[in-house]
């Protein structure tokens, strides 16, 4: 009805684990996950402070990746 397309992610930053007491990952471990990204990958991130302060700048400032934002119609 709405012509939605299903999209799957390719790289999981595991950013949520930075806030987990059971599965904690350090900032450097999370950035290491980000470095596994290939161009054209869809990145899974969550709405957390580390995402805004570290993950997004990592991709935006990188010369290795082309950042493409989704277009909503």
Token readout for 9 is: 């992610």
Q: What's 27-61 look like in SS3?
A: HHHHHHHHCCCCCCCCEECCCCHHHHHHHHHHHHH
Cα gap 28→35, rounded to integer Å: 10
Residue 10 and residue 42 in contact, taking contact as beta carbons nearer than 8 Å: yes
The average pLDDT across 35-57 equals 90
Report pLDDT digits (tens) over 8-37.
Answer: 999 999 999 999 999 999 999 999 999 998
Torsion sign (Cα): 45, 52, 30, 60 = positive
Give the pLDDT score at 68: 77
């Amino acid at each position: 009805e709405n012509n939605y397309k299903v999209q799957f992610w390719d790289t999981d930053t595991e950013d949520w684990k930075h806030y987990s007491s059971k599965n904690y990952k350090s900032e450097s471990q999370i950035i290491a996950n980000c470095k596994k990204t290939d161009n054209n990958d869809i990145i899974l991130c969550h709405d957390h402070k580390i995402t805004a302060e570290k993950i997004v700048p990592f991709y935006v400032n990188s010369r290795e990746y082309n950042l493409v934002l989704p277009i909503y119609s």
